[in-house]
Amino acid sequence: MQSTEDIQSLIRRNSLLPDEEREQIISKRFAALPKRLLHALRRWPLETSAVLDIGCSYGHCLIHFGPSSVGVDNVPEHVDFCRSLGLDARLTDVDTGLGTVEDGAFDLIWVSDVLEHLDAPRHLLREAASKLRPDGRLILFCNVLPRSRVARRLFQGHGWFDADVHHYQFTVETARHLLNHAGLAVEQIVPHGLPSSLSGLERPLTPFVPVVFIEARPDAELLTRALAAERRNKPPVQATVSLPQTVTAERRPLQQAPRRPARTG
């Protein structure tokens, strides 16, 4: 894994952005290893795996992933910045699909702080699952509304579950439901931000945290059930029914009587 200093030097050498803008990005995105990534690296081998980073932004996580990793983002400036660092980044509106991303090419998929912003999160998760290799895993980093009302009041207003840029407000339960209906089975749920000394309390503390990691894998049975549910929700279009003759007759326009000639004199 590259050091923070090496990455900052790479950015200063290769970025074509104005100096002030470049330094702002370094200060905000590359001053240190992102905390979410630091936490995730303790559990998943992201640094040695081929990872699909959905919503890669400036590449501050993507740059730490293994060989053959790919990032997708819908902002051209983000994609250009990543490419200037030698990263494989592709311009894609993930709400409409994953573009030219290869099927079955990745060990892990990283979906970090993205799902809440999308119009069609289930469709993205369904398509993302097809990009995994056998035994691959999807890692979702997601803001959630804590089950505990005390925790909700404590974390309210900090830009997690109540951020005004989020289209959706998930709970752990609704996130699991969404993943299941995308054909993905949840393997584990890990609270984010807990110190290592509390690692043994992850499960009982999950209802109290505003951010979690969710690990999921493709599941053929769940996918079959989800597709069956979709067919029930969208039945085939019925053939046009012919109206009875009596009804048809009622709808015929009435013939107007001929007008009498106007009187003169």
Residue-wise pLDDT for 16-25, tens only, equals 999 999 999 9
Residues in the chain where the model's pLDDT stays below 70: 152, 158-168, 195, 197-199, 236-265
- In sign, the C-alpha dihedral spanning 15, 17, 20, 23 is negative
* Interatomic CA distance for residues 65 and 52, integer angstroms: 9
pLDDT (tens digit per residue) in 54-99: 999 999 999 999 999 999 999 999 999 999 999 999 999 988 889 8
Query: Cα separation of 5 and 7, whole Å?
Result: 5
Third-level CATH fold of 33-250: Rossmann fold (3.40.50)
* pLDDT number for residue 247: 43
Residues 173-197: b if buried by 16+ CB within 10 A, e if exposed: eebbebbbbbbbbbeebbbbebeee
